[in-house]
Amino acid sequence: MTEAVYLVTLVAIISALIRRPEMISIVLAAHFGAAVFFADVTQGDGFRSALMGADGIVVVIMWVLWRIYHVQGAAIVAALGFLKISFGVVCAIGGVSWVTWASANNAIFIAQVLIAGGFLNGIMAWLGRSRDGSGDGRGSLLGYLERLP
């Protein structure tokens, strides 16, 4: 099962890098490489902690890309990374099964890669669209987040 997840993730990352060779895709590819390395050298809760630390680094990089360079996809990737960290903490404290945590973590990572590769641009357009239809984005989720101090 692990090899199948690696293969699907690797295909998604290569597709994202080919479609959009930008910083978001490159950072997520490096994160995948780190995750594979951590899986080889650690086990159990040590792996979960190492992966949550790597997710924290990705969140910080995506936040910088969003705030300084106004890369909107980075904001969503950062939010999903924060969700992965939060879910990992809840699973570690609550004793949720390893398979549940790993499945959710892998699914969220695939969503991050799809966003980085531009495969979910329709959702990004919907999040960035104005409620009143004027197109300025002031009534959208991302428009609100961009106005935060």
Q: What is the pLDDT of residues 17-56, one digit of tens each?
A: 998 888 999 999 999 999 999 888 988 778 888 999 999 9
Is 63 a member of any domain? yes
Q: How far apart are CA 118 and CA 99, in angstroms?
A: 29
Considering the domain boundaries, does residue 65 fall inside one?
A: yes
Q: Containing H/E element for 26?
A: helix 23-41
The pLDDT, as a whole number, for residue 58 is 94
Residue 148 has a pLDDT of 66
How many domains, in total, are found in the chain? 1
Q: Residue 131: what pLDDT?
A: 46
From the number of C-beta atoms within 10 Å of its C-beta (0-12, 13-18, 19+), residue 92 rates as middle
User: Model confidence over 96-135: pLDDT tens digits?
Assistant: 888 899 999 999 999 999 988 888 776 666 665 544 455 5
Answer yes or no: is 131 within a domain.
no
Q: How far, in Å, CA of 144 to CA of 96, rounded?
A: 34
Task: Return the residue matching tokens 């945590």.
Answer: 101
Domain of residue 36 covers 2-118
